[in-house]
Amino acid sequence: MSTLHNLYLMLHPPLAITQDIGRLQRLLNRSYHGPSKPMAAERLHTTLVPLGSYEHQIPREVVALALLAGSLLDTAPFRVCFDTLQSRGPHSEIGTVELAGHGTGVRPLYRLRRELVAALLSVGWPEAWIRPSFYPHITVDYERVPVGVRRVEPLAWDVTEVRLVDSLYGQGRHEVLASWPLQDRQPSLFD
């Protein structure tokens, strides 16, 4: 059986936030009975740009373009905030539950994604390979009865890096191929 590799540019929340999400997952398990397939803490993420699915292995030229685009990233760290737990998919069927944000809490993610897409296009990534839609969220559970929409205690953190990740479909593994720190370009007045 061949391995399917899904390539992504993504963000991983810090440990404190993954622990908070774990508490939300446990609350869901107590509040809603039925099937559940929580996302493992080490795989919690926000996808910025999906870069395709590849059987057997990701072609070297694809990885090279993604690495080149990532090296062009020129963004300072920023704060992001997710404050809503909601179901996604048909409201009468088992589907995903996600942590979402709205307005100013996730606005910087749209700017970061635009910068990444521009970098990809500048290095020759085909525009047709870039999904035009973007909805910032963190999938919390893959197989849960609908939970509706509810506000939760805001989960906020400083985004300090972007990662290029090979997600091995069906194996529950993310392999980080590269990461790029976000750096404040403003010179310090006190150096």
Q: Provide the 3-class DSSP secondary structure of residue 76.
A: coil
Most confident of 45-49, 102-106, 166-170: 45-49
Beta bridge partners of 150: 85
**% of residues, the chain, pLDDT over 70:** 94
Which DSSP state fits 36? -
pLDDT grade, residue 186 (50/70/90)?
A: low
Residues 60, 172, 106, 96, CA torsion sign: positive
pLDDT at residue 189 is higher than 60? no
Which DSSP state fits 38? B
pLDDT at residue 93 is higher than 80? no
Q: Where are the domains of the chain?
A: 4-180
Stretch among 2-11, 49-58, 81-90 having the lowest mean pLDDT: 81-90
d(CA 169, CA 55): 10
Position 90 scores a pLDDT of: 66
| Full-model pTM | 0.89
Cβ–Cβ contacts within 10 Å for residue 60, how many?
8
pLDDT at residue 59 is higher than 90? yes
* Annotation: CATH topology of 4-180: Cyclic Phosphodiesterase; Chain: A, (3.90.1140)
- List the beta strands (DSSP E) in 106-148: 137-144
pLDDT at residue 22 is higher than 90? yes
**Mean of pLDDT over the chain:** 90
**% of residues, the chain, pLDDT over 90:** 69
